Amino acid sequence: MMNDKLKSVMITALCALLVLIGTLTFVDGQTPTEHIAYASSGHEVDRHESSSHTLVGVGDQTSVLSAAVSSQIAGQQVGVEPAAAPVLVSSKSKSEVPANKPDKVVYLTFDDGPSVHTKEVLDILQQEKVKGTFFVLGQQAERNPKLVERIVNEGHALGNHSYNHDYSELYSDFRKFWSQIKRTGEAVKKIVGYEPELVRAPGGTFLNFDKQYFDLMDQAGYLVYDWHVDSNDSKRRGVPAKEIVQGVKDGALLPSTVVLMHDGVGHGETVKALPEIIRYYKTKGYTFDVLSSYVKPVQFKLAAKQRWSRTSVSKAWIEANVKPIQTVSNDKAQKPGQKPDQKPDITAGGTPDPKTNQKPAEPVKLDRQLTIATEQGELEFAPDQFMSYQDLTYVPLRMLVERLNGTVKWNTELERVDMEWNNSLVGIDVRAGKMELIGQSGEDGEVKVQPLRIVTEKYVTWVPLRQVLDAFGVKMTSYMLSPLKPIEKQE
C-alpha cells in the first residue's frame, strides 16, 4: 500500500517537473542575440533565432535582415523582430531584395597624378562612359595643367592630395600639412578656377591623422575621404594588373563603395587592370559616380596610437590661418552625362517650371563681396559664394549653415538635408523643393512646411539666404554690397 502511494507521489512530482520545464522553455526559448557586422561599415544589426513552431519562408527573413542592414548603413535605426526560423543570409533570389534598397554605386578614385598614365585612364573612362575622382598632387598639377583641365571638362571630380606626398613633412606638424593643402588648392585654382573641397590624405588618415587634423579640416570645409576597397596597386613597385584586379575583387561590395587606385608615375599596370575592374563592377550591378558633397566622407577610425610625434597647433594660429575654403565644391565639374556647355538645373528639385515647361533665367553671379550683419555677427561671402536669382540672394547651403556654426547632414538616397543650429531643427526635401521647420531639438510639435526654391549647380545646392536665416530665427539687420555688376562670361 505504501509502495503504491509512493509511486503515485513520484509520478505526480515528475509530471509537475515536466510541466515546469515546458513552461520555462516556452518563455525563454529564444536563443541569445547574435550580432552580424556588415563588412567594414561599423554598423551592426541584431540577428534573432527562435525555436518557435511557426514557420516563415526563408526569403521573407532574408529580406528583413537585408532591409535592416541597408537601413543601418543609411543611418536609420530599424528594429528587427525576432524571426520565426533560423535566418539564412545566403539567399540570392531577386524577390528577396527589399524595395527600398539603395542603388549600388561605386566611386573609382585615382591618386598621385596627373601623369603620363592619367591620359590613358581618361581615355578608358571615356570609352566606358564612366566617371571617376582624381586626387591630384599640386606639383603634378603644375607640371600637367592640360590634364587637370581635361579631368574637369570631361565631367570627373578633382580632389586635393597634398603638394609633394612627403609623409614626414605632412604628418610631423599640421601647419605643414595645411600649407601643402593650400598650395595645391591654389595651383588647381589657377588652372580650373576653383579650389577643390575634396581631400585625400597621402597614405590615408589611419595612424596619420589625429583628432585635431580631422577637426581643423572639417572646420575649413574640406571633405576628407579614405576608401573601402584598396586595389593594392601601390603595395610595392610594379604590382601586376592581374593582382590589382584580384585586390579589387577581394574587397567589400557595399551599396556605396569607394575604390583606391593610382594614376601616378609607375602605375602602368593599373591602366591595364582598369577595363576589367570596370567590367567587374558592371556585372555586379553597380553604377559609377564621382565623389562630391552629396557623398558622406569615408573615414578610417581614429587610431588609439599615432605613428607621428607632434604637438597640437595653437588657438592663435588656428584663428589666423584656418579659414573656410573659397569654393565649396567642384564648381566647374559636370554631372555624369551632362555636356560641358549644358546649363545647370534650376528651380525646386532641378525641374522645369510646370506651367511653362521652361527653366527660369540663369542666375547672375556678381563681382563684389557681400557682407550680411545679423544679431549673431557678420557673415561674409566672396563673389563666387553668392548670386542673384529672381530678385533673391542665393548662397551655398552647407556654407551658410556651417558659418552659423550649425551642422548639416545629407541623406543622398532620400535627397534630404537635415540641419541644426542653436537647437533649432530644419529639414529640406531637395527633390520636392520643400523646407520643414521642425522646431527646437527634443520638442514634439507641428512641423511647418513651406516651399523652397532651390538652385542646383553642378554639385552645389544653393538656397535663398533670407528664407533660411528666417527658418533658424536669425535676424538680418543690414547688408553691404558694392554696385552690382554681372560677370562677363568667357567664351
Spatial separation of the C-alpha atoms in residues 407 and 477, rounded to whole Å: 23
- Catalytic, out of 111, 112, 263, 331: 111
Annotated active-site residue 262? The verdict is yes
∠ CA 154-158-160 to the nearest 5 degrees?
A: 160
Pairing status of strand 105-111 against strand 132-136: parallel
Spatial separation of the C-alpha atoms in residues 198 and 292, rounded to whole Å: 7
Spatial separation of the C-alpha atoms in residues 50 and 84, rounded to whole Å: 6
Nearest residue to 156 via CA among 301, 313, 291: 291
Joined grid coordinates for residue 397:
547651403
Burial status of residue 120 (CB atoms within 10 A of its CB: 0-12, 13-18, 19 or more): middle
User: Which residues, including other chains, have CB under 8 Å from residue 313's CB and lie 6 or more apart?
Assistant: 173, 174, 175, 212, 216
Spatial separation of the C-alpha atoms in residues 59 and 122, rounded to whole Å: 42
Annotated active-site residue 60? The verdict is no
Spatial separation of the C-alpha atoms in residues 419 and 423, rounded to whole Å: 10
Tell me if the bond preceding 240 is cis, omega within 30° of 0. Answer: no
- Catalytic, out of 233, 262, 263, 429: 262
The catalytic site residues sit at: 111, 262
